[in-house]
Amino acid sequence: PKVLQHGAHRVGKRTDVEMATWRGYGMGQFIHWGVYSLFGGELNGNYYNGAAEWIRSWKDMPNGVYDSAYKQFNPSSFDATQWAKMAKQMGVRYVTFTTKHHDGFCLWPSKYTDYTIANSPCKKDIVKQVVDAYTKEGIDVYLYFSIMDWHNPDWRYDLKTKEDSVAFERFKLFTKKQLTELLQQYPQTKGLWFDGTWDNSWKKSGAFTDTLEQYLKTLHPGLIIGSRFRADEFGNRHVDATGVLMGDYEQGWERKIPKTYADVHGNDWDCVMTIPENGWGYQKKWLGHWKTTNEILEMTAQCVSLGGNFVLNFGPKPDGTFRPEEVEIAKEAGEWMKINNAAIYNCEYAGWEKQDWGYYTKKTNENKVYMIVFNVPVSRSLKVKPSKNTLVDKAYLLTAPGKTLSLEKLDYDASFIQLPSAQYKQPFVIVLETKEGGEKSDEQKAKT
């Protein structure tokens, strides 16, 4: 069989320190901000019923109106340090920030187009201010970049004619130059979050995406790029023709979380999530259900318990401030993370049988398993069934390490942890100190 030339060049997880850091983040922030924020999903009193950052594509939006709107982009209250401090207080350890969304407007003064912040009333290098402020707070920065660029006349959805291909060659060079610019101007960047790569033009450029990814990683060693970037020479995205993930982590979990560990196929992954049901840029009206802090904490626990990270999106207003609901969620989530982050940071899939009370996470390189409890049973007895060859040595509330909880042995490999009678109004964490023992797992038996 032919060898795939432009498929994945690595099978399995990256094993370098940059990726180990990424793997341990636990919780991240996404920020979508740009010209679309000016509209907030609304025009002349009518509301666009799609994601607000897509409003340029609305049939009721005259192109001229959108494309001249950047002349009103003047965020008087923008303060990247305030953003970074809010993120720090929330407990996020990485942020992904939109440098250029599908509309093509650049939040940095790119040399390769006039459609940038430099030609708006704002004039500030927004990307630089965000990168510097978050890095100063100790939060790693990743840059979101949309390949699809509705403003660039050389963008093509498909390559049908010679003219299409000639234009798209110019577009690919433009893309390479902008990405080079971003990595050279903002070297603190740890990775690139690509979007807008689903069209045929990109799927027909598999060899180019391979060469470009290798170029970017040479330019910026350690750079982390997810599976939304590449296409192989057959137009496959995310997973190549031989079934191997192309990218440093699975980047497909958008507003959805894997049900079981099997669903992640042994890859690194993160889930990006909106607070409203959909919509990433600022929306004047949040349609439908808005997630509560407890829902967001449960999604975070769920992601970390399955070996991934949870990334929550914020859509700043045109003036550069956040809507009150977002500020409140960041504050409440941060209060919980301040007490319980041991169960989230640098944790991984524990491999224990899931129970109804909540989620297990396991501290990487430590004999500690955490129970993040969301559902206290009326019996107050929490069932625990360690993985094979693992015993629970001691159990205690993370917030009361001196008070060992009673473990009542059930059948051969399960126990009940009896909770003290109390009102449990918040999710809480129980620490299980583990040791080897009990029945040997099949592989352990094989070794002896």
Ligand X SMILES: COc1ccc([C@H]2[C@H](O)[C@H](O)[C@H](C)N2C)cc1
- Asked whether the CA dihedral 170, 172, 173, 175 is positive or negative, the reply is positive
* Minimum distance of ligand X from residue 254's CB (angstroms): 5
**3-class secondary structure, 408:** strand
| φ and ψ at residue 166, rounded to 5 degrees | -65, -45
394: helix, strand or coil: strand
State the minimum distance, in angstroms, from the CB of residue 134 to ligand X.
18
φ/ψ of 369, rounded to 5, equals -120, 135
Query: Which position's Cβ is nearest ligand X?
Result: 280
Instruction: Pick between residue 145 and residue 168 the one whose CB is nearest to ligand X.
Output: 145
Contacts of 65 (CB under 8 A, 6+ apart): 43
Asked if 118 and 69 count as a contact pair (C-beta separation under 8 A), the reply is no
Q: What are 286's two structure tokens?
A: 């949040």
Instruction: Give whichever of 53 and 240 is closer to ligand X, judged by the CB atom.
Output: 53
Query: Which residues of this protein are in contact with ligand X, per CB under 6 A?
Result: 32, 51, 53-54, 195, 254, 272, 280
113 vs 278, beta carbon nearer ligand X: 278
Is the Cβ–Cβ distance between 230 and 181 less than 8 Å?
no
For the bound state, the minimum distance from the C-beta of residue 116 to ligand X, rounded and expressed in Å, comes to: 19
Q: Which is nearer to ligand X, 229 or 280 (CB)?
A: 280
- As measured in angstroms, the least distance from the Cβ of 52 to ligand X is 9
Q: Which is nearer to ligand X, 269 or 280 (CB)?
A: 280
Taking the complex as a whole, the smallest distance from the CB of residue 141 to ligand X amounts, in Å, to 16
Find out whether 47 and 286 touch, Cβ atoms under 8 Å: no
Q: What is the nearest approach in angstroms of ligand X to the Cβ of residue 431?
A: 35
Comparing CA positions, the residue from 325, 326, 303 lying closest to residue 314 is 326
Cβ–Cβ under 8 Å, residues 210 and 169: no
Nearer to ligand X, 32 or 237 (CB): 32
Give the phi and the psi of residue 171 in degrees, each rounded to 5: -65, -40
Query: What are the residues facing 144 on neighbouring strands?
Result: 98, 193
Rounded to an integer, what distance in angstroms lies between the CA atom of residue 76 and that of residue 73?
Answer: 9
What is the SS3 assignment for 430?
strand
The nearer residue to ligand X, 53 or 137, going by C-beta atoms, is 53
| CB-nearer residue toward ligand X: 67 or 233 | 67
Please report how close the Cβ of residue 360 comes to ligand X at its closest, in angstroms. Answer: 29
Residue 248 beta carbon to ligand X: minimum distance, rounded to whole angstroms? 17
